[in-house]
């Protein structure tokens, strides 16, 4: 039967002299879907997990909006966007699904787009005419219409019209790259909608989408066993009409009009076809590009962890690079690089170079690498900003833990087990992983002890087991944004007043997330706002916190409460009376384990009026870390 269809296809194309419509069935091809991909890859990747879809309450979702009418049907798209007001207009990401131009659907990447929207992007995912209903270049014209729709509706969604990104996976990656490569080329605009609006894109993210169909690296167009996806789409085999195969390749059109482009690739070599040639052209025109390869990963990597989170980090970092915000000015800038290309090879040496009693902002940029140092910023060196080159690969780590004997003969305890300690005020860290790698069974092992006032951590990771993050000063106010914090027991603890904004809190053991020791006279302790509480799938009895001291104050507001959190929410701990004076609260949380009726009676569900007290400036006593 397959041979029959192949012969028929060739005869039709040759004799009719036009595109063959054999692939137009009028029915959706549903073969490419998450379930099938998971089943296919589970044998070779037994640890993979499907990326979960979440419904964040601060992210609005508008679905099935008609963006264009074609002779076949209405074409629809979905939009995910932050509801909170922003002073600046937002970057828009148009994400195009894959499936060989023949299968797949716009809902496949909801988890990815929800996470990107949580980072502040407006995310648009469209359907487009697949080869079961229309041939090339219909899909091209559809995506051009989507871009024009985004620009036309920019005011409604607070989109910056000069920061529109085409992104996509597989066939969607090819289409995204084609959008950038054909910026300003009228011949590809087609008969779509809103033709009086520009279809220009300002950046491209191509996730495993081919860039060339006729190329030594390309595997597209093999019709020996069955009609290939590209042959269906073009309506011609590669030998019948090579010109149309060349015309549809982004590599054919790349030039000075192409915007900055990022390539995120799997370990499947043929999906990189034409990448290096494409990059070479961009270099000729001094256009920024970067390539990230997730070695050993399958083609559908972005649907699954462990690659899902990394993909988001790569995309976010690229977009922050090509659309930079106004940078803070520093009186002194220092670079740390292990290979000797910077000012210092160790982080501690760079910190020691900051003048004592410093009163001016100093920036220390840390190049990628694993820096195994026990690092101290003493109280005489304020106004330091540490910025990592890549938060996944700029790692500050050490392995001290309770019971270990230090070089000076002292026995390490919790307060001396830190890998990184800050005593100075006005400290900022960006894009860094702080880690204590003492091990799961080592006991208390602090990754970061933060004591200074007005400490800011953005896009950082805190990795360890017990007692990971120690906020150890009741005079200290601290702010964490878009951070990832993982651990086993009491992995966020101390007496400081801390605001956690849109952080992911990941539990690795049935134990306690927080152990606050808030002083009685302090109204607020830990406030988690729009955070995600997640954990290992085997967990079922994690508490939101235990009262390390009698007046512990912890509040979770608008947070996703994962299934690992126990029904009663909080823990008494050691059956003492500390919990009777604790100040544990929740407001407007959601998720599988947010069940207010089952919480311990000595915790509180805040009313709307009570929740109004939990404003950033109020909690942090007038300090605004966002300025």
DSSP one-letter string for 413-471: -GGG--SEEE-SSS-EEES-EEEE-S-TTS-B--SEEE-SSSEEEES-EEE-SBS-EEE
Contact predicate 291/177, CB 8 Å: no
Which span out of 31-40, 221-230, 571-580 was modeled with the highest average pLDDT? 31-40
Task: Kindly state the DSSP code that residue 243 receives in the 8-state scheme.
Answer: H
Is 90 exceeded by the pLDDT of residue 280? yes
Looking at every residue in the chain, the average pLDDT score rounds to 93
Rounded mean pLDDT of 309-333? 88
- Cβ(402)–Cβ(443) under 8 Å? yes
- Measured between alpha carbons, how far is residue 139 from residues 21, 126, 130, 190, 559 in Å? 15, 11, 7, 10, 39
> Residue 118's pLDDT is what?
85
Q: What is the distance between the alpha carbons of residues 507 and 444, in angstroms, rounded to a whole number?
A: 15
> What is the pLDDT at residue 510?
97
d(CA 179, CA 83): 28
Predicted confidence (pLDDT) at residue 16 exceeds the cutoff of 50: no
Question: What distance in Å separates the CA atoms of residue 116 and residue 123, rounded to the nearest whole number?
Answer: 7
Name all domains of the chain by residue range, CATH numbers in brackets: 2-322 (3.40.50.1820), 332-619 (2.160.20.10)
Burial class from Cβ neighbours inside 10 Å (0-12, 13-18, 19+) for residue 118 reads: buried
Read off the pLDDT of residues 98-112 as tens digits, 9 standing for 90 and up: 999 999 999 999 999
Residue 120, Ramachandran bin (φ over 0: left; ψ between -120 and 50: alpha; else beta): left
Beta bridge partners of 471: 450, 494
pLDDT of 4 above 80: no
Q: What is the pLDDT of residues 144-161, one digit of tens each?
A: 999 999 999 999 999 999
Torsion of CA 614, 618, 620, 626, to 10 degrees: 90
User: Which residues does the annotation mark as catalytic?
Assistant: 467, 490
Question: Which pLDDT band, with edges at 50, 70 and 90, does 18 fall under?
Answer: confident
Upstream peptide bond of 137 is cis (omega within 30 degrees of 0): yes
Nearest to 168 by CA among 115, 220, 235, 108: 108
Name the residue among 508, 513, 597 with its Cα closest to residue 555. 513
Q: Is the pLDDT of residue 623 over 50?
A: yes
Q: Which two tokens stand for residue 202?
A: 């300002």
For 54-59, what is the mean pLDDT?
76
Sign of CA dihedral 203, 208, 209, 213: positive
Complete DSSP assignment for 264-311: EE-S-GGGGTTHHHHHHHHHHTT--EEEEE-TT--TTGGGEETTHHHH
Both tokens of residue 87?
């002073």
Please name the residue ranges forming H helices in 153-205: 154-157, 171-181
User: Looking at the predicted structure, is the pLDDT value of residue 9 above 70?
Assistant: no
**Please, are residues 368 and 396 in contact by the beta-carbon 8 Å criterion?**
no
Higher per-residue confidence, 278 vs 47: 278
pTM for this structure? Answer: 0.74
- The per-residue pLDDT for 17 is 63
Q: Which residues are bridge partners to 456 per DSSP?
A: 428, 479
pLDDT of the residue at 19? 86
Residue 361 dihedral angles phi and psi, to the nearest 5°: -60, 130
| % of residues, the chain, pLDDT over 90 | 82
Nearest to 484 by CA among 362, 390, 621, 392: 392
Question: Which residue from 496, 481, 533 is spatially nearest to 512, judged by alpha carbons?
Answer: 533
Neighbours of 523 (CB within 10 A): 13
Strands 332-336 and 362-366: parallel
Average pLDDT, stretch 576-597? 92
- pLDDT tens, position by position, 488-543: 999 999 999 999 999 999 999 999 999 999 999 999 999 999 999 999 989 999 99
Cβ-contact 234, 135 below 8 angstroms: yes
Backbone torsions φ then ψ of 265, nearest 5 degrees: -120, 150
Q: What is the CA radius of gyration of the chain?
A: 27
Strands 289-293 and 261-265: parallel
């Amino acid at each position: 039967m397959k041979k029959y269809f192949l012969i028929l296809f060739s005869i039709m194309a040759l004799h009719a002299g036009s595109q063959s419509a054999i692939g137009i069935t009028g029915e959706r091809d549903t073969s490419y879907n998450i379930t099938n991909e998971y089943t296919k890859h589970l044998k070779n990747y037994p640890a993979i997990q499907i990326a979960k879809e979440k419904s964040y309450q601060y992210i609005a979702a508008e679905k099935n909006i008609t963006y264009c009418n074609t002779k076949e049907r209405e074409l629809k798209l979905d939009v995910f966007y932050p509801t909170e007001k922003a002073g600046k207009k937002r970057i828009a990401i148009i994400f195009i699904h894959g499936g060989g131009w023949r299968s797949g659907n716009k809902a496949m990447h909801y988890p990815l787009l929800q996470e990107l929207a949580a980072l502040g992007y407006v995310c648009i995912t469209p359907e487009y005419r697949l080869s079961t209903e229309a041939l090339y270049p219909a899909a091209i014209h559809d995506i051009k219409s989507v871009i024009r729709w985004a620009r036309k509706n920019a005011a409604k969604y607070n989109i910056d019209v000069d920061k529109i990104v085409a992104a996509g996976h597989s066939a969607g990656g090819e289409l995204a790259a084609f959008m950038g490569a054909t910026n300003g080329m009228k011949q590809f605009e087609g008969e779509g909608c809103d033709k009086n609006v520009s279809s220009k894109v300002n950046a491209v993210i191509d996730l495993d989408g081919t860039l060339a169909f006729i190329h030594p690296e390309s595997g597209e167009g093999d019709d020996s066993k069955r009609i290939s996806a590209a042959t269906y789409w073009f309506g011609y085999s590669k030998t019948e009409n090579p010109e149309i195969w060349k015309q549809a390749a982004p590599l054919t059109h790349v030039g000075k009009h192409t915007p900055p482009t990022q390539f995120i690739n799997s370990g499947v070599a043929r999906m990189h076809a034409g990448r290096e040639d494409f990059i070479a052209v961009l270099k000729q025109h001094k256009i920024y590009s970067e390539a990230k390869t997730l070695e050993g990963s399958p083609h559908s990597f972005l649907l699954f962890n462990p690659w899902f989170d990394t993909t988001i980090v790569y995309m976010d970092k690229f977009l922050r690079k090509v659309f930079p915000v106004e940078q803070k000015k520093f009186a002194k800038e220092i670079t740390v690089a292990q290979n000797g290309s910077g000012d210092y090879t160790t982080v501690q040496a760079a910190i020691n170079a900051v003048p004592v009693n410093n009163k001016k902002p100093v920036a220390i940029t840390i190049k990628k690498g694993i820096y195994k140092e026990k690092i101290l910023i003493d109280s005489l060196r304020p106004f330091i900003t540490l910025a990592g080159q890549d938060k996944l690969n700029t790692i500050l780590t050490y392995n001290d833990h309770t019971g270990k004997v230090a070089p000076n003969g002292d026995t390490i305890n919790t307060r001396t087990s830190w890998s990184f300690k800050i005593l100075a005020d006005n400290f900022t860290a960006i894009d860094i992983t702080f880690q204590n790698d003492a091990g799961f069974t080592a006991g208390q092992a602090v990754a970061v002890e933060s004591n200074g006032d007005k400490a800011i951590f953005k896009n950082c990771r805190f990795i360890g087991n017990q007692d990971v993050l120690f906020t150890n000063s009741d005079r200290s106010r601290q702010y964490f944004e878009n951070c990832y914090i993982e651990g086993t027991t009491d992995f966020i603890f101390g007496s400081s007043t801390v605001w956690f904004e849109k952080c992911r809190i990941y539990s690795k053991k049935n134990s306690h997330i927080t152990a606050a020791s808030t002083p009685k006279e302090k109204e607020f302790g830990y406030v988690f706002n729009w955070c995600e509480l997640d954990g290992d799938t085997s967990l079922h009895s994690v508490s939101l916190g235990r009262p390390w001291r009698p007046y512990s104050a912890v509040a979770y507001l608008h947070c996703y409460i994962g299934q690992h959190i126990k029904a009663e929410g909080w823990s008494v701990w050691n059956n003492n009376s500390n919990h009777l004076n604790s100040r544990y609260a929740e407001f407007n949380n959601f998720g599988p384990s947010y069940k207010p009726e089952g919480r311990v009676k000595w915790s509180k569900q805040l009313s709307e009026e009570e929740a109004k007290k939990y404003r950033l400036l109020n909690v942090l006593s007038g300090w605004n870390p966002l300025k």
